[in-house]
Chains A and B, each alone.
Chain A
Amino acid sequence: MDLQIALLLSQDGIVNGAIYALLALALVLVFAVTRVIFIPQGEFVAFGALTLAGFQAGKVPGTLWLLIGLGAAIAIVEVVIAMRSGALRRLTSALGWNLGYPAVAAAVVFLGEPVSWPLFVQVVLALAMVVPLGPMVYRLAYQPLLSASVLVLLIVSVAVHLTLVGLGLLFFGAEGSRTPAFSEASFEIGGVVVTGQTLWVVGASAVLIVVLYLFFERSLWGKALRATAINRTGARLMGISSTQAGKLSFVLAAAIGALSGILIAPITTVYYDTGFLIGLKGFVAAIVGGLASYPIAAAGAILVGLLESFSSFWASAFKEVIVFTLIIPVLVWRSLTTRHVEEEE
Chain B
Amino acid sequence: MKRWLTLMVALILAALVVPIGAGAQGKDTLTVALASNATTLDPHMHFERAGILVNINMFDSLLHRSAKLEFEPSLALSWKALNDTTWEFKLRRGVKFHDGSTMTAEDVKFSFDRVLEPGSEKKKSPQYGNVRAIKEVKIVDADTIQLATDKPFPLLLERLVFFPIVPKKHVEKVGEEAFGSTATVGTGPWKLVEWKRDQHIRLEAFDQHWRGRPAFKYVVFRAIPEVATSVAELKTGGVDIIRNVNADLLPDLKSHPQTRISTTPILRVHYMSLDMRSAPFDKKAARQAANYAIDKQSMIQKMMAGLGKQVATVVQPPAFGFDPSVPPYPYDPKKAKELLAQAGYPNGVDITMHSAFVDFRPHFEALGQMLTEVGLRTTVKMWDPGPAWNKYFQAEGKATNGQYGSWGNYSVFDADAVLHPLYHTEPGGWIGKHYARVEGLDKLIDEGRSSVDPAKRKRIYAEIQRMIREEAPSVFLWTQNDTLGISRKVAYEARPDEWLWLFAAKPAS
Are A and B subunits of one complex? no
